[in-house]
Each structure stands twice: as C-alpha cells, then as structure tokens.
Amino acid sequence: MNRASAKPDSLSQRGAVARPGGDRPLSLMSVHCCICNGDDAEPIAVGEDFEYRTSPDTFLAMRCRQCGLVYLNPRPAVEELSRIYPPDYHAYDFSQEQFGFVYKVRCRLEAGRLLSCCKGLPDSARILDVGCGDGFHLGLLRQFGQSSWQLEGIDPSDLAVIAANRAGLTIHQGTIQSLDLPKASYDLAFMIATLEHVDNPVQVLEAVRSLLRPGGCVVIVTDNTDTLDFRLFQQRHWGGYHFPRHWNLFNPSTLRQLAQKVDLEVAQLTTILSPVNWVYSLHNALVDWGAPLWLIRQFTLKSTLALGIFTLFDLLHQKLGHGALLRVTLRRPF
Amino acid sequence: MKSSHPAPVAIIGAGIAGLTAAVTLRRQNIPIVLYESGQRIAGLAQSFNDEDGFSYDFGPHFITNRLAAALGVGAQCRTVRHYGEAVWLQGRTYGYPFGLLQVPRFCLSGLASKLTPGNQQRANSSAAEWFRASYGKALANEVAIPLLEAWSGADASQLSAAVGSKLQNSIGYTFLLKAASHLTHRAVASGYSHEMPEHPNVWHVYPEGGTSTLCQRLADGLEGAIALESPVESILVEQEQVTAIRVKGTEQPVSAVISTAPCSVLARLINGSDALRPLTKFRYRPMVFVNLRLNGRGYLPNTVLWTPEAEFPFFRLTETPLSMPWLAPAGKTIITVDIGCEVGDAIWSMPDDALGVFCRDALRPIIPTVQQQYLGCRVMRSSIAYPIFLNEYEADRVALEKSTGIAGLYSIGRNGEFSHMLMEDVYWRTQNKMRDVQADLKSQIGGQSGIA
C-alpha cells in the first residue's frame, strides 16, 4: 500500500480532502510493542493525518526502549479501518490515468525488483502477495514474469478486491490469519508496504510462514527508520509515519528481531531507494505550516521534479546502506 | 487456605497520577483498586464553568499536544496559539526571559556570576545562592528571590538549591523554542517538560472541558476498579512491608500501596513503621487563587505577569484568555491573582467578595481602570498548592526520590513525590514508576514461589 496524493482539485485549505465525518474522533486503543511485548517506550512524534484528514485526532509515535521498534500508540481500533482507508485511498487505484509518467517509471522499477526476487523459482511456482491492494504488483508479475506461475493476492478491503478483480487477478478477501489457505503450498510471498499496516506483525508473519513450503521465502519491503529523512523529520512530519495508517515501523535490527521471533531465517537484508518519504516529509511539513496549495502540490506522488530530485538524493543514501526502504528476504527453514 | 489470586495493588487518589498508575498497572494485568475519598475523580484537575460563560481551572490550565496524543484526547483539544511571561518592575514590564536580559545591570551581573570562581560550590548551599550564582546578584535579588519567597513563604536562604536546578532550558534553546512559537503560531512548550525533551513540535493545547477531560479518559479504562467516597484510613505495615489497608473500618490485604496523597498525610496513614516519620515535616504552601472577572481584555502585557515587588500582596497575575480566549465571554476577561498564605491567616480567612475587592484595589498600579471594569470574582483555595523545598528536610526529600523506605509502598504524583513537576511530567514519571512497581511485584512473587 504505497502512497500517493489525493486529487489536487479536491484539496482543502489544509492540503487534504475535506471529507464527511472527518471531524469525528476515532476510537483508539493502547497497544504494547509487538516484538518484545513490552510497555516501556518513549514518545518521539506527535502527528496528524496530514494526507487524508480522516479524523481530527492527534497521534503519538513511540519507540520501544527495549528493542527500538517505532510504533503508533494509541492507534485506531480495527473497526475504524474503513475510515482511515477512505475510498480515495491511493492503494486502491494506483493507475496510469491517475499517475501518468510516475506510473510508468514505477512499473519498470518495481517489475525489475520483483523479478529479481523470483530467480530460481520453478515453472509451477505459487506466489502470494499479502496486502496486495489493487493488485499492482501481481499485475507486474503477470506481465513480466512467467505465464505458468500461479499468482494470488490477499487483501481485506472491498475496494482493493474490486480493483484487483477488475484486473482479472485472483484475490482472497480477508486477512491472512482468517483465511483458510493451503499450508506449506507457496514458494514465494510478498509483503510490499504491508507489514507496517498490519495490527499484529508477529501473527501475520507466523501465518505467512505456515503457508510457505519449507525453504520458501517471504520478501518484505517496508519503511526504514534507520535513515537521514527519519532523523530529520522524526519529531512530526516524517512521511513514513503516514499517520495513522503505519502502526509498526522497523529498522534492520528490529526486522531481524521480528524474524527471529517467528522462526524465519534472514536470507538477505538490504535497503532500497525511494523518494516517497522525503517528498511526503516535506509535504506534511508544508501542510502543517499552512503553506499555499500550489507549493504543497509540488510534493506529492504526481510531482515528477520532486520525485526525481529525491530519487537521486536517496540513491546516495542507499549506496551508504541507508536507503528509504528496507527489503528483507526471510526463508522458512527446511 | 490462601487464595490463588494475588491481593490487589491499592492506589490512593483518583487524580491524574493515581489514574495513570491504575491504567498502567491494569495494562500489565495487575489487579488494582483505586480509592478516592471524594465523590468524583479528577482531584486537582477539576474545572468549573459559571452561568456567565467564564471557565475556571483549578490546577493546570493546559497540557502539551504530546500528552493529549498519548491519552488519545487530541481531537478534544484546542491549540494554544500564544503563551508568554513578563515581569513588572518599577512601573515597567519586561519580557521573560529576554526582556530582562536587556537591562544592563541584570546582564552585567549575570555575566559576572558566570565568571566568578567558586560560585558553583556556593550555589549548592541554598536556593538564594543558586539564583545568585546562576542569574547574577541583581536579577536574583530583585526578581527571582522575592518571587520565590512570596511563592514559598520561606526565606530563600532556607530553601534547597534543588528549587532552581529544576527550572529551565539553556538561553539558546529557549530562544529557539520562542522563535518556533512565533513562526508556527503555536505556544511551543518551554521549561514545561523535564521528563521528555522539548522541541518545536511540542506545544500547549487546552482540552475541552478542562484537564478533568484527561482524567475521565483514563478512568474510561478502569470500569469497576474505582471506589469513590472511600478514604483510606490507614496503611498497615509489618516488618517494613505493606500488608493491608483499612478502608471504612475494614482491613483489606494488598500487594502494594501507591499513594498520591501529600507526603505529610501519607506519613500519618502508616501504621506499624516509623520509616515515614521524617515526611511529617514536609510542608506545602497554601495558596489563594482569586479569579477577577473584568470587562474588556488585554490588561496584562502577556499571559503571566510576575510581580516581585513587595508593594503587591500577590506574586503572579495570569490573564488566561490571552492564551485561551474561550475561557471568558467575548469582550471580557479573567485575571487570576495568586497569593501565598497560611491556612487560617487573614488572607485565607477573608470572605470571597472582600478578597476580590482587596485584589482589585492592589491591582490599580498595574491596571488603572480596574475599579470600573470589575465584575466580581471567584476564589479557589488550596492548602497544598506547592511543595516547599526547605533545606531542613532536603536529605529526607532526596531519600524519598529513591524510595519510601517501606517495601510495597510508593508515593507518586506532584504531591506524593513532593516535586514541582507539571502535568506531562506527572504522566511520564508515573508510567516509569509503575514499571518499577511491576518489577518489584514480580520479584516478590518470584521470591514467594521460591520459598514455596
């Protein structure tokens, strides 16, 4: 579930869509650290839903003093998901019509990344995309991968499933914990920009593990808190917070601890570049400071210039091992 | 036969500290009972509204956006756009702190104090010396020490240096926070939080309904665990270990007691140990807060005006609507006059209306038209408004920071810790202390099972 901006013509004075019910507080719940189950955390950021304005709430990002995980606490109750993922949420419709040039560039980039994870898969490989959204990645695998691969996706959202089905993809609606999919049957799973959205990463990864064949892998791509953009914007505006939709945020250390907890081996852990958190950090700061809309619009996923500049910028960081996204390949032991 | 269920932890007092303690322990599945002697929760955080549209907060006026977010009440809070302080000296006002620094004698004496060898050793001897060493003699003698003495009712040479050491950020960082406040039009917190770092993204907010809103939110997670109108009559201690409490004449076994009561009160509740006897000496400053209702607005140069000169019977004036316009109807204002006193003295005993007139008349040098604009007053009294850090019991106070000296007994919150902390610090400190409680309870259970 990557990020894009709302429609520019529906931007309100506060830089986001003015939506019905957006002035009603969410039901919030307190949580513990999902890795160490501890309750000993320090507050690091107070933020708002700068992008979609789905509620008037303020949110607190905390960092666990035991393991270093950054997590939202308190966070919206699960029954509020339909509010915090409104119908215009970009992950339900990341289309060429909406995103033009950015869509084309991203397709090429993402296709290359996906296929690099698929090396060595058998012709009959069964591949699962957990949190597939509108099926963007499955579509790329279908377009650029082997036609014999069996591609499936999982997503709980009606809107995502409708979009994916429209594209002719096989989608299981629900959460991975609730669906009764065949155990030890999948060769490869993807969780691309998904882990940070789920309520219980441990349970989700345990469920993914149970679906993988022994030796099968899950590739996780998630926001990286071990970055310069995080350090610069961590007090409020960091794009990776995506308040209030990113519930757990990782660095290489916490991701390794998570893998260990669910008995998956770290086959590869690297960082990859992305301009998105840079662009959205600036976007959020401008929204928060009441900047004019024309300026805010220079920092969205439709802003080719900003994306280009920060792609180069993040390339430098990625070369130093601190790219904006973490990509880890976890293997189910034989 | 012994019950397999552990005895609950008893928490005394349903203010922000007691409620935070209760919520934190309950999240760890530790059984708790929260005893409140009053008819309702919220302790010092209660707010009142009158029929004319004025609001009065007893205790803190505002919190930070960080605390609001932690409690999940951010949506119920209004942003405070401005907050500032000034000092009244010889008929002029000076912004705090930078206006004072522009006065040559304050600036020069401040610089001299930094360059004088041996100042730091002297600074530890008393609050008076601490201020002289840190601010310079001129600023200390003319402003800081008179204010401290009016506030505490004690001679500054008798007060602990710890009063000062808890006060401020550096000048440079204060400047940064003030600048951020101007740029963002948000009252960025400065010198407010000590437990968590201050930065330009932490500012003041006002919860709708006053700070009791926070207490209510905390209490929402404590169904069935709050006993109202249930004063704890005594805490029973055996071999320096808490064993039970007595409530309404009935003894109830407990695994620990967490008290938010003033230290001197807590010491008197203990039955079976003398460990807390030193705490009976701890004194709190009684205070009268006279809320003057006035026609018009903007009488003070800033939200808070400090008045260190002896001609005034008060030491601080606060025009809250300058920061929070919604606390008074349009075209009107409230000025809160803080007067230190002793329980039973002339100020404490003065009827409310007479106090209003007394303050009104004393305000004339600062607000010449106050007599014509005066609409009436509402008075609040607290016998335990602020802890007084007297040197005579400083060693006992420092010891209390570490422990009560009785196993299973914890003293928390502003009054319980005998500390000058504000709302957000109470919250984070209490959370941290509850982790200690949890660890102690675990080792206690571990020890018992080891014996078994």
B76-135 tens-digit pLDDT: 999 999 999 999 999 999 998 888 888 898 888 888 887 777 666 677 789 999 899 888
Identify the residue among A23, A29, A58, A234 best suited for mutation to test binding to B, counting B beta carbons within 10 A and taking the highest: A58
ipTM of this predicted structure: 0.89
Answer yes or no: is pLDDT of A26 > 50: yes
Instruction: Mark yes or no for CB contact A58/B200 under 8 Å.
Output: no
Instruction: Mark yes or no for CB contact B75/A58 under 8 Å.
Output: yes
| Residue range B14-26, pLDDT digits in tens | 999 999 999 999 9
| Residue range A78-134, pLDDT digits in tens | 999 989 988 888 655 556 666 667 777 778 888 988 999 998 899 999 999 999 988
Q: Which residue has tokens 């000076």?
A: B94
Report the relative pairing of strands B270-271 and B232-238 from DSSP bridges.
Answer: parallel
Chain A nearest-CA distance from B70, in A, is: 6
Residue-level pLDDT at B51? 87
pTM: 0.92
| Residue range B384-426, pLDDT digits in tens | 999 999 999 999 999 999 999 999 999 999 999 998 888 899 9
| Residue range A268-289, pLDDT digits in tens | 999 999 999 999 999 999 999 9
Q: What percent of chain B has pLDDT over 90?
A: 73
Residue-level pLDDT at A95? 64
CA-based angle A275:A54:A274, to the nearest 5? Answer: 10
Q: Worst-scoring range by mean pLDDT, A10-14, A24-28, B275-279?
A: A10-14
Instruction: Mark yes or no for CB contact A58/B24 under 8 Å.
Output: no
Mean pLDDT of chain B: 90
Given CB atoms, is A233 within the 8 Å cutoff of chain B? no
Confidence of residue A16 (pLDDT cuts 50, 70, 90): low
Instruction: Mark yes or no for CB contact A55/B75 under 8 Å.
Output: yes
Rounded distance between C-alpha atoms, residue B229 and residue B212, angstroms: 18
Residue-level pLDDT at B185? 93
Answer yes or no: is pLDDT of A10 > 70: no
Please, what sign has the CA dihedral across residues B418, B420, B423, B427? negative
Rounded distance between C-alpha atoms, residue B434 and residue B207, angstroms: 25
Q: Which residues of chain A neighbour B75 with C-beta distances below 8 Å? A: 25-26, 55-58
SS3 B112: helix
How many other β-carbons are positioned within 10 Å of the β-carbon of residue B142?
21
Q: Which residues of chain B neighbour A289 with C-beta distances below 8 Å? A: 184
| Chain centre distance of CA B99 | 26
Residue-level pLDDT at B120? 67
Residue-level pLDDT at A22? 79
Residue-level pLDDT at A12? 43
| Chain centre distance of CA A173 | 18
Instruction: Mark yes or no for CB contact B69/A59 under 8 Å.
Output: yes
Residue-level pLDDT at B422? 87
Chain A nearest-CA distance from B431, in A, is: 9
Residue-level pLDDT at A265? 97
Rounded distance between C-alpha atoms, residue B147 and residue B157, angstroms: 13
Identify the residue among B201, B214, B430, B432 best suited for mutation to test binding to A, counting A beta carbons within 10 A and taking the highest: B201
Chain A nearest-CA distance from B6, in A, is: 21
Q: What percent of chain A has pLDDT over 70?
A: 91
Confidence of residue B259 (pLDDT cuts 50, 70, 90): very high
Q: Which residues of chain A neighbour B66 with C-beta distances below 8 Å? A: 43, 46, 60
Residue-level pLDDT at A181? 95
Please, what sign has the CA dihedral across residues B202, B203, B207, B210? positive
Answer yes or no: is pLDDT of B373 > 50: yes
Answer yes or no: is pLDDT of B36 > 90: yes
Answer yes or no: is pLDDT of B213 > 80: yes
The structure tokens listed for A211 are 């679906």
Given A30, A40, A60, which is nearest B66 (Cβ)?
A60
Walk across the sheet containing B250-253 and list its strands: B250-253, B241-247, B232-238, B270-271
Given A32, A46, A48, which is nearest B202 (Cβ)?
A46
Q: Which residues of chain B neighbour A45 with C-beta distances below 8 Å? A: 201
Chain B nearest-CA distance from A9, in A, is: 26
Chain A nearest-CA distance from B192, in A, is: 16
Neighbouring residues of B22: CB distance < 8 A, sequence distance ≥ 6:
B11, B32, B34, B218, B222, B225, B226
| Residue range A155-165, pLDDT digits in tens | 988 887 888 88
Q: Mean pLDDT over residues B19-38, rounded?
A: 95
Given A32, A45, A74, which is nearest B72 (Cβ)?
A74
| Residue range B295-310, pLDDT digits in tens | 999 999 999 999 999 9
Confidence of residue A1 (pLDDT cuts 50, 70, 90): very low
H or E segment and range at residue B138: helix B137-139
In order, the DSSP letters of B154-215 are: S-GGGB-THHHHTS---HHHHHHHHHHHHHHTS-B--SS-SSS---TT-BEEEETT-THHHH
Instruction: Mark yes or no for CB contact A236/B201 under 8 Å.
Output: yes
| Chain centre distance of CA B24 | 21
Identify the residue among A32, A53, A54, A60 best suited for mutation to test binding to B, counting B beta carbons within 10 A and taking the highest: A60
Mean pLDDT of chain A: 89
Q: Mean pLDDT over residues B331-349, rounded?
A: 96
How many other β-carbons are positioned within 10 Å of the β-carbon of residue B415?
28
Given CB atoms, is B437 within the 8 Å cutoff of chain A? no
Residue-level pLDDT at B44? 56
Neighbouring residues of B153: CB distance < 8 A, sequence distance ≥ 6:
B285, B340, B341, B342, B388
Given CB atoms, is A14 within the 8 Å cutoff of chain B? no
Answer yes or no: is pLDDT of A152 > 70: yes
A12 versus B109: the higher-pLDDT residue is B109
Given CB atoms, is A16 within the 8 Å cutoff of chain B? no
Confidence of residue B199 (pLDDT cuts 50, 70, 90): very high
Q: Is the CB of residue A12 less than 8 Å from the CB of residue A297?
A: no
Adjacent-strand bridge partners of B284: B387
Residue-level pLDDT at A21? 75
